[in-house]
Chain A
Amino acid sequence: MKRILLGAGLGMAAALALTAPAQAAKTLVYCSEGSPENFSPMLNTTGTSFDVALPVYNNLVQFEYGGTKVVPGLAESWTISDDGLTYTFKLRAGVKWHSSNDFKPTRDLTADDVLFTFERQWKPENAYHKVSGGAYDYFNDMAMPKLLKSVEKVDDLTVKVTLNTVEAPFLADLAMPFMAVMSSEYAQALQKKGTLEKIDQVPIGTGPFQFVAYQKDAVIRYKAFEQYWGGRQKLDNLVFAITPDAAVRLAKLKAGECQIMPYPNPADIDAMKKDESIVVQQQEGLNVGYLSFNVTKKPFDDVRVRRAVSMAMDKKAMVEAVYQAAGVPAKNPIPPTMWSYNDSIEDYPYDVERAKKLLAEAGYPNGFETDLWAMPVQRPYMPNAKRIAEMMQADLAKVGIKAKIVQYEWGEYRKRLQAGEHQLGMMGWTGDNGDPDNFLYTLLGCEAARPGGNNLSKWCNKEFDDLVVQAKRTNDVAARTKLYEQSQVIFKEEAPWYTVAHSVVYVGLAKNVVGYKMDPFGVHRFESVDLK
């Protein structure tokens, strides 16, 4: 009996060996940093979770590979009505859906799928609205429930979206991960089986890679989707090897166990750059870390004081000491990778004497006392706020300003800053949709200056506000660029913030990886990547 079993085992092994995929298949292994919560980007807020869904899904419109420009996706074209309220999207014909063991699509992409994507997040009566604890943070954060008036199917390949107000960044919002288009046919099939939550665990999309399997906390496998509308990928397989420790990710890259690794330790970057077997790519993150001057409180209501403080602190030293390789000094409120970044603006120099003079002019020849709030957590744009606060404190002491560092638990900290309780408060922002509006209007507009709003300086400058509101109300990118460039000039003159830094993010690549581009939004995309 034993022998027979053994024989059967060997036979099976031989059969397996025969059916095993040819080793020549091109497999790219990406050493990802963590486990996803699920595979539906509309449910999530973290880059780790977006990364695993991006290979599978497409949006109506998408960000060009490696940039923030919005380009056609599942919608091959669109028109915007003259009043800017109605968007009509023409869908690509013949877009195929992936299949799985349990689901074989019977039709191509239609307007129904687009409607389902909106309605799951929007309408409480949708059968999927509550599935997987649906909180839809981004859908709500981007104010979609307030903005959307209706989403209608005109015909199978035409969708009409009507808004309540004109919102120029709307297209960019649609390109964000949370608007990944899901299959309504798949949703219906799952509903029939009563396994609704599967939609978030076994993703069916239209994207370049098809989901194969996820072994929890270990490996996620994808294969190239043969019928991808954008053309079959050069890679055959894409594998995420979940590797939480940064030093181990680097070791895996060096040992050839993976070809791309994100988020190296800042301390390792110099060595990586010297290593011949590794290519290092870097890019400024879509974020800014800043110190907000509360202009409703004395003495920061006086622009001279704000300028004086800006000149009293040594930004370069701060960034070098605390960010090391992982940051660059910031002069504008928006990061350099964003369109309309005004590079002609000059930052306040580090000049203690001029700072003292300005303070004297403003009536504070001997300085004053202030609080200085530092956040208690590490954020992408600020690796150690406490340390920076201490450096600021030391610099300010030199011009006679006595700053007292204040800290609260993160949730509380944010709430109190939004309420405007601080005089000097550190904060930052990470961009959502790559649109300057997402920084300039959201963080510095008058509407956000209300108590509880995200304009922490409570700075409401009519001239600035007019520019950013006007830019919000037009869809002409060239005109918007001008308006935003101008607004940055006012920002610098009025100095409602002391801009500290933009983070710099890195990835390590094996020498044989070609065509990989870093994404300004901080996610990791693998379309059109190849291995030599």
Chain B
Amino acid sequence: MLRFILTRVSLVIPTFLGITFLTFILIRLVPGDPIEVRTGERGIAPERLAALRHEMGLDRPMWQQFLDYVGNVLHGDFGLSLITHNSVLGEFLTLFPATLELAMCAMIFATLVGLPAGILAAVKRGSAFDHGVMGASLTGYSMPIFWWGLLLILFFSVQLGWTPVSGRLDLVYYVEPTTGFMLIDTLMAGDYEAFRSALGHLVLPTIVLGTVPLAVVARMTRSAMLEVLGEDYIRTARAKGLADNRVIGLHALRNALIPVVTVIGLQVGTLLGGAILTETIFSWPGVGKWLIESINRRDYPALQGGVLLIATSVILVNLLVDVLYGVLNPRIRHAR
């Protein structure tokens, strides 16, 4: 098992280098550097531009900037934001819990709804329910997040007034962030009203962000279940008189779960991508919104560090999924 994990980890290193290189190059290919984008009609005197560039270290050869950056990152130094002059790692760590909280809620939502829906659709294959679930998931999968989010806000928040429009917590509450997870922080503060408010603020963004993974999980569960249900050992289990619930819940589901777990792992990337849009709509103070702003302001260190750190978390989750996979499927664990 340990060897399995080590092999997987060693594969991660080139991925990191590739990501670092790509973000480094891509943001520099975008026209306008951090100084030029904030210069208006007036322009900037060439001497001042040169002095500011020098101060930011942008006048050195690209390869040198890159090597320095990689060196610093290896020492755990992600640099300072060019705009706020705060440490990039510090800013990321302040904002990441908000993204993580939202992503986890969305994943839980997607799994709790998608899994049973997929199982039921498979068991009742060809029924109206099956068609309904598949149709709905196709719709969900192809729905633009921005439009979907605004629609939900207009209906539930403006029309019905059931949910708050945006933000993480009602403004009358002030909870000192300790973990950064609003649900936990409010509970730790013992403020149950605030907890309810935090929960209320999570509803719409969770649905919006969870819609695509929900669709994927439902479809994947259904097809995996269908495949497994056609296997000989299921027939055998049925033949020996096991109850339907037991056949489906135990024998079939465990095997069907393997591809589903993989898909859930892969969805983490999608989730963090979707979080960028979802956070912008719901004014959610997470890393997604922060990255967009970094692009607009050409805040190179913040953008590079942010992408790298997000990539790290995606890679970690996938690693975890691979390990979990091994737990579910002994064949993989023992494969050499």
User: A residues bordering B, Cβ < 8 Å?
Assistant: 9-10, 12-13, 16, 23, 27, 29, 34-35, 37-38, 45-46, 132-133, 135, 137, 140-141, 197, 200, 213, 215-219, 221, 239, 241-245, 247-248, 251-252, 254-255, 257, 379, 409-412, 414-415, 418, 427-430, 454
Contacts and interface: CB of A to CB of B under 8 A. Distances in A.
Contacts of A9: 190
Given A13-B191, A141-B42, A216-B285, A248 B94 contact: no
Contacts of A34: 293
A414 B43 contact: yes
How extensive is the interface on chain B, given as a class?
A: 35 or more
B52 A248 contact: no
Contacts of B63: none
A257 B165 contact: yes
A27 B173 CA distance: 13
B38 interface: yes
Nearest to A442: B42
Nearest to A427: B41
Nearest to B43: A414
B150 A247 contact: yes
Given A243-B166, A257-B164, A454-B41, A251 B158 contact: yes
Given A12-B190, A135-B52, A251-B166, 16 more contacts: A13-B192, A16-B190, A27-B171, A132-B85, A213-B174, A217-B95, A218-B168, A239-B171, A251-B150, A255-B157, A255-B165, A409-B31, A409-B32, A411-B39, A427-B41, A428-B41
Contact of B285 (A200, A215, A255, A257): A215
A71 to B, nearest CB: 27
A220 to B, nearest CB: 11
Nearest to B31: A409
Contacts of A257: 164-167
A411 B164 contact: no
A49 B85 CA distance: 15
Interface stretch (B130-138, B208-216, B275-283, B323-331): B275-283
Given A216-B94, A248-B281, A255-B161, A414 B167 contact: no
Contacts of A135: 35, 52
Contacts of B231: none
Those 4 A-B pairs whose CB atoms lie nearest each other, nearest first: A218-B285, A217-B285, A13-B190, A409-B31
A135 B45 CA distance: 13
Given A197-B85, A213-B174, A410-B31, A454 B283 contact: no
Contacts of A248: 150, 153, 165-166, 281-283
A93 to B, nearest CB: 36
Contacts of B283: 218, 241-245, 248
Contacts of A244: 280, 283, 289
